[in-house]
Amino acid sequence: MRLFCIVLAAPPLWGDLVSNVPLQEHIQRKTDLKVFVFNDLCGTALYYSEVPDFSSGAEFLTLITLSTGIGSKTVALKERRLFMDSAVR
């Protein structure tokens, strides 16, 4: 399975000036490191999956955000694995 990250659009950052940016590829080329790129929701879910108050005795942790949009991310705690959308796989 090959993971990749293409920024389709980021209006708060670039407006309508930039789209379809292969961000992961650019970072890997510049740093010569294996790079994983995910959004803040994924990072926050992974963070809380390591906090015993939120994860002890559970199989899954789901983080839901309510902001300008609604989002969620689920972590399988035993495997320490994010459930990803099929579009990302």
pLDDT at 54: 78
Residue 2 has pLDDT above 80, yes or no: no
Q: Name which residue leads in pLDDT, 22 or 13.
A: 22
What is the C-alpha separation between 60 and 76, in angstroms, rounded? 5
pLDDT at 74: 92
DSSP label at residue 20: E
The overall pTM is greater than 0.95: no
What is the C-alpha separation between 85 and 70, in angstroms, rounded? 15
pLDDT at 68: 78
Domain ranges of the chain: 1-37, 39-89
